[in-house]
Amino acid sequence: MSSTRPVLPAGGATGPADRQVTGMRFRAEVRLTPADVGQRVVIRWRRPGPGDGDQIADVLGLLEQADAESLAVRTSGGELVLIPAGRALAGKVIPPRPARRRSTGPHPTGAQANPLTPGPGMFPVSMN
Protein backbone atom coordinates (compact mmCIF):
# COMPACT_ATOMS: atom_id res chain seq x y z
CA MET A 1 0.00 0.00 0.00
CA SER A 2 1.47 3.34 -1.05
CA SER A 3 0.59 6.53 0.73
CA THR A 4 0.96 10.10 -0.44
CA ARG A 5 1.94 12.69 2.14
CA PRO A 6 2.79 16.37 1.78
CA VAL A 7 6.39 17.48 2.22
CA LEU A 8 6.55 20.18 4.85
CA PRO A 9 8.94 23.13 4.51
CA ALA A 10 12.19 23.06 6.51
CA GLY A 11 12.58 25.00 9.72
CA GLY A 12 9.50 23.62 11.43
CA ALA A 13 7.00 25.53 9.30
CA THR A 14 3.60 23.96 8.93
CA GLY A 15 1.89 23.95 5.58
CA PRO A 16 2.05 21.93 2.40
CA ALA A 17 5.01 22.26 0.09
CA ASP A 18 4.93 22.18 -3.69
CA ARG A 19 5.58 18.46 -4.08
CA GLN A 20 4.42 15.14 -2.67
CA VAL A 21 6.36 12.16 -1.32
CA THR A 22 4.94 8.74 -2.09
CA GLY A 23 5.62 5.39 -0.50
CA MET A 24 8.25 6.70 1.94
CA ARG A 25 8.00 5.78 5.59
CA PHE A 26 10.44 6.34 8.39
CA ARG A 27 10.35 6.48 12.14
CA ALA A 28 12.57 8.72 14.18
CA GLU A 29 13.70 7.27 17.48
CA VAL A 30 16.13 8.07 20.24
CA ARG A 31 18.71 5.29 20.18
CA LEU A 32 20.80 6.51 23.11
CA THR A 33 21.38 4.75 26.42
CA PRO A 34 23.61 5.34 29.45
CA ALA A 35 26.14 3.02 27.74
CA ASP A 36 26.62 5.73 25.07
CA VAL A 37 27.94 8.34 27.54
CA GLY A 38 31.25 9.68 26.22
CA GLN A 39 30.30 9.07 22.58
CA ARG A 40 29.74 11.73 19.90
CA VAL A 41 26.00 12.05 19.27
CA VAL A 42 23.40 14.06 17.41
CA ILE A 43 19.95 14.68 18.92
CA ARG A 44 16.94 16.32 17.27
CA TRP A 45 14.63 17.84 19.86
CA ARG A 46 11.77 20.25 20.44
CA ARG A 47 13.14 23.27 22.26
CA PRO A 48 10.88 25.99 23.62
CA GLY A 49 10.35 28.68 21.01
CA PRO A 50 9.01 32.20 21.08
CA GLY A 51 5.54 32.50 22.55
CA ASP A 52 3.86 29.18 23.26
CA GLY A 53 5.46 27.31 20.33
CA ASP A 54 8.32 24.90 20.01
CA GLN A 55 11.26 24.89 17.61
CA ILE A 56 12.95 21.82 16.18
CA ALA A 57 16.70 21.93 16.79
CA ASP A 58 19.67 19.60 16.43
CA VAL A 59 22.51 19.42 18.94
CA LEU A 60 25.84 17.75 18.12
CA GLY A 61 28.47 16.90 20.70
CA LEU A 62 29.61 14.48 23.38
CA LEU A 63 26.93 12.76 25.42
CA GLU A 64 27.71 13.48 29.08
CA GLN A 65 24.59 12.04 30.69
CA ALA A 66 21.66 9.86 29.64
CA ASP A 67 18.88 8.61 31.86
CA ALA A 68 15.09 8.29 31.86
CA GLU A 69 14.62 12.01 32.64
CA SER A 70 17.12 13.79 30.39
CA LEU A 71 20.09 13.81 28.05
CA ALA A 72 23.07 16.15 28.43
CA VAL A 73 25.29 16.98 25.43
CA ARG A 74 28.49 19.07 25.50
CA THR A 75 28.92 20.94 22.20
CA SER A 76 32.30 21.70 20.58
CA GLY A 77 31.91 25.26 21.87
CA GLY A 78 31.77 23.97 25.45
CA GLU A 79 28.05 24.62 25.99
CA LEU A 80 26.17 21.96 27.99
CA VAL A 81 22.72 21.38 26.46
CA LEU A 82 20.24 19.64 28.78
CA ILE A 83 17.38 17.99 26.89
CA PRO A 84 14.34 16.66 28.77
CA ALA A 85 13.75 13.07 27.56
CA GLY A 86 10.17 13.86 26.55
CA ARG A 87 11.37 16.56 24.12
CA ALA A 88 13.92 14.36 22.31
CA LEU A 89 12.60 13.32 18.89
CA ALA A 90 15.58 11.36 17.53
CA GLY A 91 19.13 10.65 18.58
CA LYS A 92 22.02 8.42 17.64
CA VAL A 93 25.74 7.86 18.06
CA ILE A 94 27.78 9.22 15.16
CA PRO A 95 31.42 8.66 14.13
CA PRO A 96 34.19 10.70 15.77
CA ARG A 97 35.01 14.06 14.25
CA PRO A 98 37.40 13.70 11.30
CA ALA A 99 41.02 14.44 12.17
CA ARG A 100 42.35 17.75 10.93
CA ARG A 101 44.77 17.45 8.08
CA ARG A 102 48.21 18.69 8.93
CA SER A 103 50.29 20.51 6.38
CA THR A 104 53.67 19.07 5.42
CA GLY A 105 55.40 22.42 5.75
CA PRO A 106 54.90 26.16 5.77
CA HIS A 107 52.69 27.55 3.05
CA PRO A 108 54.65 29.84 0.72
CA THR A 109 53.48 33.43 0.59
CA GLY A 110 54.31 36.47 -1.50
CA ALA A 111 57.33 36.06 -3.75
CA GLN A 112 57.91 32.53 -2.48
CA ALA A 113 54.49 31.47 -3.74
CA ASN A 114 55.19 32.68 -7.28
CA PRO A 115 58.87 33.03 -8.22
CA LEU A 116 57.91 35.33 -11.11
CA THR A 117 56.53 37.92 -8.68
CA PRO A 118 59.18 40.42 -7.50
CA GLY A 119 59.65 40.30 -3.75
CA PRO A 120 60.78 43.06 -1.38
CA GLY A 121 63.93 44.79 -2.62
CA MET A 122 63.56 43.27 -6.10
CA PHE A 123 62.77 45.23 -9.21
CA PRO A 124 61.53 43.94 -12.53
CA VAL A 125 64.15 43.89 -15.22
CA SER A 126 63.20 45.12 -18.65
CA MET A 127 64.17 42.79 -21.46
CA ASN A 128 64.38 45.67 -24.04
CATH for 89: 2.30.30
The greatest distance separating any two alpha carbons of the chain, rounded to the nearest whole angstrom, comes to: 83
30 vs 8 pLDDT, higher one: 30
CB atoms within 10 A of CB 34: 10
On whether the CB atoms of residues 8 and 16 are closer than 8 A, the answer is yes
The reply to whether 115 falls in a domain is no
**Three-state SS at 63:** strand
The reply to whether 8 falls in a domain is no
pTM over 0.75: no
The reply to whether 89 falls in a domain is yes
**Could you list the residue range(s) of the whole structural domain that residue 55 is in?**
25-93
- Tally of structural domains, the chain: 1
The reply to whether 125 falls in a domain is no
Query: Per residue in 54-99, pLDDT tens?
Result: 999 999 999 999 999 999 999 999 999 999 999 999 999 999 988 8
- Strands (DSSP E) contained in the chain are 4-6, 20-22, 40-48, 54-66, 70-74, 80-84, 88-93
Residue type, 121: G
The reply to whether 5 falls in a domain is no
The reply to whether 53 falls in a domain is yes
